[in-house]
Amino acid sequence: MRIFGNLGYKVLAIVIALFLWLVARGSSSVERGFDIPVVLQGVPDDLVVVDQGADVVNVRLLGTRSALRNFKPDRLEYPLEISEAKPGQADFEVDLSRFDLPRGARVVSRSPSRIELSLERRIAKTVKVKPDLDGQPAEGFRVAEITIDPPRVRITGARSEVLRLSEVATETIDVAGASGPVEREVRIYAGPGHVWAESPRTVKVKVAVEAEPVEASPAAPRGPG
Using an 8 Å Cβ cutoff, are 173 and 187 in contact? Answer: no
CA distances to 21, 167, 168, 208 from 152, in Å: 74, 8, 9, 20
User: Other C-beta atoms within 10 Å of 183: how many?
Assistant: 11
Residues 109, 185, single domain; the answer is: no
- Domain assignment present for residue 198? The answer is yes
- Domain assignment present for residue 20? The answer is no
Give me the domain span that covers residue 200: 122-211
Cα separation, 56 vs 59, whole angstroms: 9
Q: Which of 77, 99, 90, 75 is nearest to 43 (CA)?
A: 90
Q: How many domains does the chain have?
A: 2
Cα separation, 112 vs 94, whole angstroms: 7
pLDDT tens digits, the chain, 225 residues: what are they?
455 555 555 555 565 545 444 444 445 678 888 899 999 999 999 999 999 999 999 999 888 887 787 788 888 899 999 999 999 999 999 998 888 888 878 888 999 999 999 999 999 999 999 999 999 999 999 999 999 999 999 999 999 999 999 999 999 999 999 999 999 999 999 888 999 999 899 999 999 999 998 776 666 666 565
SS3 10: helix
Residue that finishes a domain, picked among 121, 138, 163: 121
- Domain assignment present for residue 13? The answer is no
Residue that finishes a domain, picked among 121, 153, 169: 121
- Domain assignment present for residue 220? The answer is no
Q: What CATH number is attached to the domain comprising 171?
A: 2.170.120.40
Residues 116, 141, single domain; the answer is: no
Residues 182, 115, single domain; the answer is: no
Cα separation, 17 vs 13, whole angstroms: 6
Residues 88, 149, single domain; the answer is: no
Q: What CATH number is attached to the domain comprising 64?
A: 2.170.120.30
- Domain assignment present for residue 12? The answer is no
Residues 136, 192, single domain; the answer is: yes
Residues 113, 126, single domain; the answer is: no
pTM reported for the whole predicted model: 0.71
Residues 107, 172, single domain; the answer is: no
